[in-house]
Amino acid sequence: MFSLKFPIPIENTLTPPPKTNNNNNNNNNNNNYNKFSGCSYYCSVYANDKLRGGIIRSPPTSNVALHNNEASVVGGWPETTEAKEEPFPEELRAELMPKHVAVIMDGNRRWAKTRGLFPWAGHQAGVEALKEVVRLCCSWGIKVLTVFAFSSENWIRPKVEVDFLMSLFEKTINSEIDDFNREGIRISVIGDATKLPSSLLRMIKYAEESTKENSRLQLIVAVSYSGKYDVVQACKSVAKKVKDGILDLEEINEGIIEQELETNCTEFPNPDLLIRTSGELRVSNFLLWQLAYAELYFNGALWPDFGKDEFVEALISFQQRKRRFGGR
């Protein structure tokens, strides 16, 4: 509540900002990644974007193209440079950081609509916001980040949008694998894979395989996921084990079902903190079983606008709560 969200660090404020290690010579003002701790640079980037009425991560409007329902980027995007470690915020305590953060990334389409853009521009901007949150999680010692990318209920959306999203997932995973390996990020995908395009399935399998040894951060992407489906498939797995003689009926308890949930791919299956953006106050069939004791943090910002400040606010809120897990 009392965190100060001003971009004015009080250390080394009068030292000049370090020179950018940017291989891309495109030094336009749209290079919005806040990589520098220097006060003046941060303020100028932040202030310039605010004065233009944009946001830190707004993409150039003319650069998102839709060709045959596939996502493509047509020049002008700020190149992703090597991610730098984000200093640990002073408002937070390292020993109280959540191990597992879950995020419902809501608001992409509304973000695009308020700017007169097509929905896919919102989804593309949402990807950038996700990259930023992943970078922050890596820097601040969060072990697992689960994001709700596509719900089983989303299949009823217009085919154009669904095809775009599938294409976007595929291209994003493909383009980020090297970064994941460099940063020690392991990617896992959960959800009902039967409905996914085969090319996306192959990409997912490749990404999971090539990053499985990474241990700094586990990024779990829920695609075609439903909390109820997760419980149902866990029950089916348990039934199969009983059928195969691995389990007795009498042995079935909560723990047995939890082991079969899709979040069994991680050491910390239950989120400590759930963040939902865009102001909606519900979990929308996400990780129903796993969220029993999660701190629920609902933020009014639309997902593409969710950045470091908002994330810090969520973490502060989490650290201030007295979580008793039902005990005294």
Partner 1 sequence: MDLKYPARKLSRSVLTMGNVGLQLLWYFLHILLSIWHSILAIRCFIESCFITCGVLEKYKSLNIAKLRYLAIVIESEDAHQTSKVVKLLQWLDSIGVKNVCLYDMNGVLKKSKEAIFGKLKNAKPIEEVNEAVTLHVPEHMTLEFVSYADGKEAMVKAANFIFVENLKRQNFGGEIDGQVISEPLLNEALKVVGCKGPEPDLLLVYGPVRSHLGFPAWRIRYTEIVHMGSLNFLRYGSLIKAIYNFTKVHQNYGT
Site residues for partner 1 per CB under 8 A: 1-2, 4, 6, 8, 10-11, 13-14, 151-154, 156-157, 227-229, 231-232, 235-240, 242-243, 249, 252-254, 257, 280-285, 288-289, 291-297, 317, 321-324, 326, 328
Task: Tell me if residue 111 falls in helix, strand or coil.
Answer: helix
Task: Tell me if residue 208 falls in helix, strand or coil.
Answer: helix
Helix axes 159-183, 198-211, angle to 10 degrees: 10
d(CA 70, CA 325): 45
Q: How far is the CB of 40 from partner 1 (least distance, A)?
A: 12
- Considering all CA atoms of the chain, what is the largest pairwise distance in Å, rounded to the nearest integer? 69
Q: How far is the CB of 47 from partner 1 (least distance, A)?
A: 16
Q: Letter for the amino acid at 55?
A: I
Tokens coding 282: 């519900």
Q: Which residues are catalytic?
A: 106
Closest CA to 97 of 145, 48, 152, 25: 145
**Residue with smaller CB distance to partner 1, 67 or 324:** 324
Q: How far is the CB of 161 from partner 1 (least distance, A)?
A: 10
Tokens coding 214: 């990474």
**Residue with smaller CB distance to partner 1, 88 or 155:** 155
Residue 22 makes CB contacts below 8 A (sequence gap 6+) with 31, 79, 81
d(CA 154, CA 162): 8
Q: How far is the CB of 234 from partner 1 (least distance, A)?
A: 9
**Residue with smaller CB distance to partner 1, 88 or 293:** 293
Task: Read off φ and ψ for residue 171, nearest 5 degrees.
Answer: -70, -40
Q: How far is the CB of 243 from partner 1 (least distance, A)?
A: 5
**Residue with smaller CB distance to partner 1, 180 or 225:** 225
**Residue with smaller CB distance to partner 1, 121 or 238:** 238
